[in-house]
Structure 1
């Protein structure tokens, strides 16, 4: 391996690094679980394929590396937020002019902070605070929960236990009450054909509907 390339690892977390003029790149991966027959380095969605403990090691390593590079005086610019979990929210805060953070920090540092009342009131009128645990329902109707951190306007990031981050409006967040339904609550969306037929029937008179029922009964007898 030449002097501009390096490879190594931290237990099961592996990396390949490359140095070139005005550029230094590090790419992390793992070989515990991979789909590409040539190894995890050649997989897409490397982070998503990492087992949970390797993901946590990656998040910890990324935080340490960023702090080290900043301490050494390197200028770090985030062109695209490709981080996951807590690192995603931290990265977003650094990149966004809506938040004062300019360098890497711990999410615990912003726990308890809130914003204007119009953008931080949950479903029940309670004030939202960074780091608070709240519930919401996802697009499929399942009950979900996670720690909330303000994003922009009335939108809040929700950091879930599995590392996923969701973007949820404040009025869709809530504390789980005894009266809340725990199961899946799916919005009923009947087929468009059914909706149209129902609309057409609503335009019919009573006599027309009676005649339609008679025709159907007659068809059933003749079948």
Structure 2
């Protein structure tokens, strides 16, 4: 039997559990019906009415045995779930139909937890607590997915790059240096590790970059796999980006424009050419000087 884990993504509980037992009727392993049915029993005890998924029964009846649907009523509306089991585990996905954006219903919305009315959200949290406690009691390990490298960039990097066998063995992917980050044997001492001005980039060092609107930004850089560096530029969970090494540079922010038009040189050159062709030489002189400053 493989390692048994579970994790939460928005309102979906994803369980990794394989029996390793072959199916009798087709190629592949038999789903872990015990784990699936036990979780459904936990939800039934939490007040959910559970049955076959009518959409599956209508369109793909042969798959009906692997799918279930249920709902629990609250004063704010119904909390629904759809459940599915498969050879490598099972999935239970919660949704509601009160506040929706997708024309096909709340099941297909993004950010489903955020859209839940207060009482429906509390019912979801209660159901999740019961399922989490049940799985942990049965020996499942919870995987916590990091959504941001802020405030721990190394933990985020490892979570993104380490494979299952590395997590299981407590090791890290890639050859690491004394600082715990990938070393030159992985990144390379040239090319991928040199910024726009051919200066070597160290993990945690400060670099500047420009946004797609031309604004000057400053951050600390980490990673460097395939020449792409993770840049953290603020304390917020969304204050990060990934940039190529050739987009990073050092500068004195007092001596460079805070904003440059992303296509500034090309735009000035085009205007200069047009001014010369129309013999507007006064305008051409101004544009020439602007182009020199931009360079």
Q: What range is the shorter-chain TM-score in?
A: 0.3 to 0.5
- Which structure would you say has the larger RCO, counting Cα contacts within 8 Å and 6 or more residues apart? 2
| TM-score, with length taken from structure 1 | 0.46
